Structure 1
């Protein structure tokens, strides 16, 4: 109903999705007398804001993106610009028209089908029933919006972050009314505070500005302005221009913007520690690109609604951070995502470890708990009553044996199996502790079996396969001994990998983009397409832990190993690398993740997350840029970028050649 999914789930990014397009079901019927509006799920926020404002300056508490459909926004909770003043969008849903599994059109509310009404308000995106209309309570738009934006240089980041947190948590000092909306934006280049006040009386606004700026260095820029509500909404959108043509909010014949980005989110109920702020700012300074941390308040009116009133659980927090990173080219994607992961991880332990489902992130472990917390135990009741009917009302039977992947935190016990999507192949954990792959039509002949560490003795069941948070798939025996594992441990990026059985008779550990990290065909962690299958590395195209360069014929790979070394592997001999770099003896306490890059002086080098040099070619170099190439015969060649005949350094079959610069 407007593509409200950061991971593209509403566009069929997962196999076997069914997509129902509500774009034309976009009616907006306003009843000013009763102060309600009936809206189709395909209506987008821009037209809704514009049309409601024409009816005696009413509005709804929605978000800032004019092209977002109201269906996905409302079903996930509906956080927005007026959240502290009027709460979430779900707090204003009075009734929904829905189609259930039998095809019946129902009008549901707090008094009719109350369980379903409860579940759809905060946990209903793509679940339980199909919503065809929302009835919402209207609110008056603010008569006046006053806003300050203050911007500091990055050397003030820690001071501004600490001041923001002080005002958010020290209510005796700040004592904000719900008319105040205090935001913070943290980027590598600058840090910005935005103070917004809704209403004509601005004494509290001036007091808040004084409190915020009292102990901080002078901002490099400040800007204060006042607007009506529609102007404010328009100027915050990505469609604003100097003409101030507010009819553009109607999105008539508009080309909607598209971005390549990744986003994550965390809630906080306590201040981020000084140590974590230091980690965050250090990681932020080491990257390059358009990465932004948006701090938004989650208190005010939101906190006054009982936690169990709706399926939206997260009402007791102070603020949330949305971490978003954008890139322009596909080859930058993995580097930017790794940068994002490091910054997210730096403050993760300070957070509640819960997130807003409308900022969906496919990489979070234990997603039901992350998004729904204790409400998870209530949701299955609604799932059984409604969703299962989609499968069983014609006598069909649901089977969990058809699962093809093992996600982070999940376990496979003896006798349980993963089944390939075509249902012809399965992976089973046997009574002897081995994992084995079989064809369904030949269950007596294993296509593959795991080994058991020969150094272990007195192995005993029961056995269990665990896809661990550190990304290693491990088989344990009854005494807790590791008897087999994929060796894909990568603790700095928890929940990144999953184990799956595929139609091609192979078992794989894959990353977030389905790149292969480990496969039963080879038994070694290698030959993922970590850089889109690239065989060439230029400056700025860094490789991180578990990423590869792959030769054009796909028979040789250069891997950044988990211990900080780089290693060459050949497809026909995965057992041992043909070459491995060393680690500088003077370096101690190295920390993942590692980065492999071409340096400013045209060498190739490996650094850890602290910036320590682990390995470098240390060859004499030339003016201009260099390029690293992995060739089909296994040779790794560093040469001048503008002339491939000028060689700087090369390595083949363990033999290193240093060339003189020209």
Structure 2
């Protein structure tokens, strides 16, 4: 049967399953819970107890000692959202039971892995399905891997099966112990699920592609409760959608299979210049790393931030940092590449750092965990030894499909200077990350991730403290929206779905572009009743 026919067959089957609230693969749990709840449709204590009895994991309810921490996301701004319960899923069947319970009682639900959604979409006032205990990392051993889109299979490449709740610091640590690596993000407590489903940019992306490009298969709990395995042959339409179609749209993913690459030492660098040279540095960075023919091994970021002072004086900062990932046995070209950067700027940096590090140490440094152990590179109170604190910030993004013009650079630097003058605002700024390389050699329709013609991403960050006054928080938000508006004439209208922005208009087109119609068709096929929904979820066709 062709792909279109297969899609329509499943659409009909799942619509019938949804109508009957049958949770396939869970022994008819949905049917067993149908009709539960009090006269207002709210689950009763008996209902919650029945759900708890059916879980192999644990159910955390308000009033329990674990609840205050269990209900939190990474951003403390969302602490105001109070789930009715958090189900820690110890198996795919637990996730299926949670979906069935929510459907039968009519309460909202969502899934959570790392809890880093900028929009707070990984929490709910209803039932929160937490997959963080599904965090096993199993590096495989296999030579000459193929089948992933992007990157290349080299001797020593392999397959890894990774639970959806694994945090990136653990992924890197456990893969590195087996001599393997995966192109992924740098924030240590981000969950592999959210990162992969939205694309997954990282410091070796130009060489090895996006995280979603390395996905070979996934295990998914559908709206019907059915637990299925998807790959390029089985439910290929859904497999396509999961590679960049955004988290929370099609089901609860419980595990992934990835093609890994051989772990090799990485050269890290950071060069700083005085603020007076900022315009020249931005132009030189673009010519250096965004030009056609820039080596895939070179990834870099131009970071432009404010340096808060109580009176709004002071000077912003600019730096270029990055990673050079050269193939094993190739003589290092890092020194020559960095010399080219300095030549392009035309003036000496005020400070420099460049050193080669082993893969795990390099990723800990990129994660902001220099000098910390893997155990310490977790959130405090969430994991034994965790020492990291949660962070409050607003964010938005755009893409550069051509280099910033002089006017675009002026708008960018002007926004930073205006924030510096705002007394009381905390650190904020703009992060320009280089894309291209292996990312751009994948067709826009080969995966759901459409942003393949990108030179760089621009992420706008406005940091604050939840204890700041309402007026200060308002000024912080105003700066972010003003910066986005100022940059609009100079950047693409598209945006990165993993930097999800609750204030973004035309968000569906901005995130998914020409892939949106197909994504909506897949949504109709696998979730015809729009069970998996939130403020910026993909609607069915």
Give the TM-score category using the shorter length: 0.5 to 0.7
| Alignment of structure 1 residues 372-451 onto 2, 5 Å | 372-389=512-529
Asked if 1:21 corresponds to 2:130, the answer is yes
More strand by share: 1
Query: For 1:296 and 1:284, how far apart are their aligned partners in 2?
Result: 17
More helix by share: 2
| Alignment of structure 1 residues 7-46 onto 2, 5 Å | 7-12=119-124, 18-33=127-142, 35-46=158-169
For residue 247 of structure 1, report the CA deviation from its aligned partner. Answer: 4.8
Name which of 307, 313, 335 aligns with 1:206: 335
For residue 83 of structure 1, report the CA deviation from its aligned partner. Answer: 0.5
**Deviations, residues 432-465 of structure 1 (Å, cap 9, x unaligned):** xxxxxxxxxxxxxxxxxxxxxxxxxxxxxxxxxx
Q: Any unmatched runs of 5+ in structure 2?
A: 1-112, 144-157, 307-315, 421-425, 537-541
CA contact (8 A) 2:302 2:433 kept: yes
Query: For 1:84 and 1:264, how far apart are their aligned partners in 2?
Result: 22
CA contact (8 A) 1:265 1:355 kept: yes
| Alignment of structure 1 residues 161-180 onto 2, 5 Å | 161-171=282-292, 175-180=293-298
**Deviations, residues 96-135 of structure 1 (Å, cap 9, x unaligned):** 1111222111111110111111111111410112211111
Query: For 2:388 and 2:339, how far apart are their aligned partners in 1?
Result: 39
Asked if 1:181 corresponds to 2:299, the answer is yes
Name which of 308, 329, 336 aligns with 2:445: 308
The size of the alignment, in residue pairs, is 386
| Alignment match, 2:473 | 333
Asked if 1:83 corresponds to 2:205, the answer is yes
Name which of 146, 150, 166 aligns with 2:271: 150
Q: 1:29 to 1:391 in 2, by over 3 A?
A: closer
| Alignment of structure 1 residues 27-426 onto 2, 5 Å | 27-33=136-142, 35-55=158-178, 57-142=179-264, 144-171=265-292, 175-188=293-306, 189-199=316-326, 201=330, 203-214=332-343, 215-241=345-371, 244-249=372-377, 252-288=384-420, 289-328=426-465, 329-331=467-469, 332-389=472-529
SS of residue in 1 equivalent to 2:319: strand
| Alignment match, 1:658 | none
CA contact (8 A) 2:377 2:387 kept: no
Query: For 1:223 and 1:30, how far apart are their aligned partners in 2?
Result: 33
| Alignment of structure 1 residues 461-500 onto 2, 5 Å | none
Alpha-carbon RMSD = 2.3
Q: If the length of structure 1 is used for normalisation, what is the TM-score?
A: 0.56
Q: Any unmatched runs of 5+ in structure 1?
A: 393-397, 408-662
**Deviations, residues 348-387 of structure 1 (Å, cap 9, x unaligned):** 2111111110111111101100100111111111111111
Query: For 1:33 and 1:165, how far apart are their aligned partners in 2?
Result: 38
CA contact (8 A) 1:230 1:246 kept: no
Asked if 1:2 corresponds to 2:114, the answer is yes
Higher relative contact order (CA 8 A, sep 6+): 2
Query: For 1:302 and 1:92, how far apart are their aligned partners in 2?
Result: 11
**Deviations, residues 545-592 of structure 1 (Å, cap 9, x unaligned):** xxxxxxxxxxxxxxxxxxxxxxxxxxxxxxxxxxxxxxxxxxxxxxxx
For residue 276 of structure 1, report the CA deviation from its aligned partner. Answer: 2.6
Query: For 2:196 and 2:301, how far apart are their aligned partners in 1?
Result: 22
Q: 1:66 to 1:337 in 2, by over 3 A?
A: same
| Alignment match, 2:90 | none
**Deviations, residues 606-640 of structure 1 (Å, cap 9, x unaligned):** xxxxxxxxxxxxxxxxxxxxxxxxxxxxxxxxxxx
For residue 149 of structure 1, report the CA deviation from its aligned partner. Answer: 1.2
For residue 86 of structure 1, report the CA deviation from its aligned partner. Answer: 0.5
Q: If the length of structure 2 is used for normalisation, what is the TM-score?
A: 0.68
SS of residue in 1 equivalent to 2:433: strand
CA contact (8 A) 1:291 1:340 kept: no
Query: For 1:228 and 1:271, how far apart are their aligned partners in 2?
Result: 33
| Alignment match, 1:620 | none
